[in-house]
Structure 1
């Protein structure tokens, strides 16, 4: 695990290998993910039901992410405050040679106990430097759920909206949301 820290900001660390995603780290990720989903967050794992969820329901997704970690292909970025997990995200390199210069940011989360403290902004600053300087990526992409103000958050971090899939996400019967496609040149 390597650490990047700036004054007056949370500590941003990255995990690049499966064996470094300890049981304690995995448990913290699982607990954070369940809390974020249950608070209305837009990061529901693919194989999970709609909220409410329990940590055990999220655990298989965390295990898959941890098993897939690799310095050149997939990294976890963790934000901690006083040693507690405050947020995290996943950075992945696209595997196909045509898009190997691009990365994908997934599962951007701030634990509900740490919202409003700049955790998400710190993670977004950290991911751009790591993507460019350590992984040699030239562009990042992510998707966000409309209706939560996420596109404004990402715009403030320098991202641009490049498209939408209208009504692609069904949050509940009668509540379809656009999936917003966003991009950042590094």
Structure 2
């Protein structure tokens, strides 16, 4: 598992910094240590024969970065990108290698520091997302933030397939970054 995209053991630290973002009006969070950067939305080049959740790839300073849509992965209502749509570049482990991956977010809210004592376990019912994908839930201001366990969201075999397809296909056009 990639420690950079997981929440650190709760008893080891007092607080976490997470990036909060919104998908389909639900708030999510990822520990900032697993995040490389946040980009404005740009056109994504589709790659044939990739999993449904993969939108395609972008060129980020000469590197091919796969971009995935968590809405598809979480079986949420799909919507067209807006002016607030962002691509969050994260790192996940694939075959022992730290691999950059873009995830689509409706909008990025802010970096939030949370007290680990405030993190509650995921509910067993009433959530659209598999509880294995969730490290916990925390209340911040008037919102509940679902803390994602990204290494569980993307199964290793799916990420291997994405990486294989991206390396085999050479997109005809690139967005300049």
TM-score (norm. length: structure 1): 0.28
Q: Hey, which of these two has a bigger chunk of helix by percent?
A: 1
TM-score, normalised via structure 2 length = 0.29
Q: Which has the higher strand share?
A: 2
Question: Using CA pairs below 8 Å that are at least 6 residues apart, which structure has the higher relative contact order?
Answer: 2
